Amino acid sequence: MKNIFKIMTVVAFVSVLSFQSVWAGNDNRRGTAGATELLINPWARSSGWGSVSIANVRGLDAFYSNISGLAFTRHMELTYTNTIYLGGKSGATSGASINAFGLGIRIFESGVLGVQVMTMGFGDIAITTVENPEGTAGTFSPSFMNIAVGYAHSFTRSIHGGVAFRVISESTDNVSASGFSIDAGIQYVTGADDELKFGISLKNIGTAFSFSGTGHSLTMVNDAGNNFTVETRSADMELPTCLNIGVSYDFLFEKYEQRVTVAGSFTSNAFLKDNFALGVEYGIFNMAEVRCGYVYQTDIFSSSDRTTANTGICAGASVEVPLSKREKGQKANTALEIDYSFRSASPLKGTHSIGATLKF
């Protein structure tokens, strides 16, 4: 037990040092990061209680919360989630939506390999220019995408770790940017029934991010009547690095096949305000779950000083449909899980996610 806690302490210490070297404690850096879509949870299950599951996330949701949770994939999982972001077409974001795909396969007795693809679109946006400020010159459609490959390993029954490598791309018709990042995490499980869990994850450590393309060039005519092209350079942006620390505890009622999980987490953001999250999840018969959570940050109750559209409240539910025989107290070997989540926002409309996961 002492050795386990030593390992956890070393990992936490190294994570904090790595994070502080990027952050440097400068409040003036808030809002200057690139690729901030990496801070949006694309998965319906974990977002339903505020992404609080740093310590107990399981399966492909681990690509967002803590990649070490991928190690709990049973044999194979295939998942898809669609998110209508901040109101989608009926909101101020004019059709913003997120699609996330994931595949996880156990390749060793103690190792799981996974792939995640996340795409984000914003619908058709009118092109406006100095000569055409009304936007009647057509439309353009920005798109964001990131592809991650992760591996998680169970070192012992109690200690699980993982790492993910991610390629990031943002583009429009004439401007694009790309980058690379690494996530790492560890989970520790203890208790007679594995009811107590701790987790640490460090996310979005990577290369500088900058835009390039013909959209940065401007053709002009000098006094002699000659055409010349001026090209501007995009400033380098750092990725939105964050450190997550979480804990969870399961209250088990095995006689009634019920469970209540309470979880909490702290997220230290390099370019945003820090977040504190608390969530509760209730499960019954290993087939249905409901959850809710709240994510707090400084000034979130002030409409004038709040720096996020999200107002903190979130809720969700999951239903698992067995596709094979299920023993009492156990999950079916093959099942289809349907997940839904809602995240409140103001003045924009809320975010809705719905997903399906096929488990083998």
Show the 3-state SS of 108-171.
Answer: CCCEEEEEEEEEEECCCEECCCCCCCCCCCCEECCEEEEEEEEEEEECCCCEEEEEEEEEEEEE
Region 109-125 average pLDDT: 93
| Percent share of the chain, pLDDT over 90 | 60
Nearest-angstrom CA–CA distance, 212 and 37:
19
In this prediction, residues 287-295 reach a mean pLDDT of 97
306 — pLDDT class (breaks 50, 70, 90): confident
Contact (Cβ atoms closer than 8 angstroms) between residue 203 and residue 183: yes
Q: Which of 39-53, 60-74, 120-134, 289-303 has the lowest mean pLDDT?
A: 120-134
What is the Cβ-side half-sphere exposure of residue 245, based on CA atoms within 13 angstroms? 12
Percent over 70 (pLDDT), the chain: 89
Q: Are 282 and 259 in contact (CB under 8 A)?
A: yes
Domain, as residue range, for 130: 2-359
Q: What is the pLDDT of residue 93?
A: 43
Tens-place pLDDT, residues 39-55: 999 999 999 999 999 99
CA gap 298, 274 in Å, rounded: 8
- Cα–Cα nearest to 207, from 163, 171, 244, 166: 166
The more confidently predicted of residues 222 and 107 is 107
Instruction: Pull the structure tokens for residue 77.
Output: 């999982």
Q: Is residue 297 a contact partner of residue 284, using CB atoms and an 8 Å limit?
A: no
In this prediction, residue 289 carries a pLDDT of 97
Please provide residue 126's backbone torsions phi and psi, each rounded to the nearest 5 degrees: -65, 140
Torsion of CA 346, 348, 349, 355, to 10 degrees: -100
Mean pLDDT of 176-204: 95
Number of domains in the chain: 1
Compute the distance between CA of residue 102 and CA of residue 122 in angstroms, rounded to an integer.
Answer: 22
Give mean pLDDT, residues 247-274. 93
Distance CA 36, CA 6 (A): 34
Q: With 50 as the cut, is the pLDDT of residue 4 above it?
A: no
Predicted local distance difference test score (pLDDT) of residue 88: 67
- Report CA torsion sign: 65, 68, 69, 71: positive
Among 343, 7, 99, 57, residue whose Cα is nearest residue 203 = 57
Whichever domain contains 49, its CATH number is 2.40.160.40
Nearest CA to 64 out of 46, 84, 85, 83 is that of: 46
Name the DSSP class of 234. P
> Using one digit for the tens of pLDDT, what is the confidence trace for 143-160?
899 999 999 999 999 999
Q: What is the pLDDT of residues 6-30, one digit of tens each?
A: 444 444 444 444 444 444 445 566 7
